[in-house]
Structure 1
Amino acid sequence: MTKKIIGVVLIVAGIALAKWGYDIYDSASSQITRALIGDTPFEAWAGMVAGGVCILLGIRQLK
C-alpha cells in the first residue's frame, strides 16, 4: 500500500517538475537567450529531466 502511495506522489511531483521546466524553457527571457546566444537555461533541462525520472520511478513503484 505504501509503495503505491509513493508511486503516485512521485508521478505527481514528476509532472509538476516537468511542467516547471517547460515553463522556464518557454519563458520570454529564455527565448531571447536562445535567440541571441543559443543556450538553454540549466534549470529548464534539470526540471524536465528530473520530472521524467520521477515519473518513471513512480510508474515502476505502481507495478
Structure 2
Amino acid sequence: MNNKVIAIVLVVIGVALTVWGYDVYDSAASQVGRALSGDTPIEAWAGLIGGVVCVLIGITKLK
C-alpha cells in the first residue's frame, strides 16, 4: 500500500514538473533568448527531464 502511494505521488509530481518545464520553455523571455542566442533555459530542461524521470519511476513502481 505504501509503495502505491509513493508511486502515485511521483507520477503527480512528474506531471507537474513537466508542465512547469514546458511553461518555462514556452515563455516569452525564453523565446526571445532562443531567438537571439539559441540557448534554452536550464530550468526548462530540468523541469522536462526531471518530470519525465519521475513519471517513469512512478509508473514502474505501480506495477
Same fold (TM over 0.5): yes
Deviating 4+ runs (over 3 angstroms): none
Matches of 1:2 and 1:56, distance apart in 2: 18
Partner of 1:40, secondary structure, is coil
The CA RMSD measured in Å over matched residues stands at 0.3
Paired position in structure 1 for 2:40: 40
Tell me how far apart the structure 2 counterparts of residues 26 and 61 of structure 1 sit (CA, whole Å): 31
Structure 2 unaligned segments of length 5 or more: list them. Answer: none
Equivalent in the alignment of 1:27: 27
Aligned amino acid, residue 32 of structure 2:
I
Size of the aligned set, in residue pairs, is 63
User: Which residue type is aligned with residue 48 of structure 1?
Assistant: L
Percent identity, aligned pairs only, is: 62
C-alpha displacement of 1:43: 0.3
The alignment's TM-score, normalised by the length of structure 2, stands at: 0.99
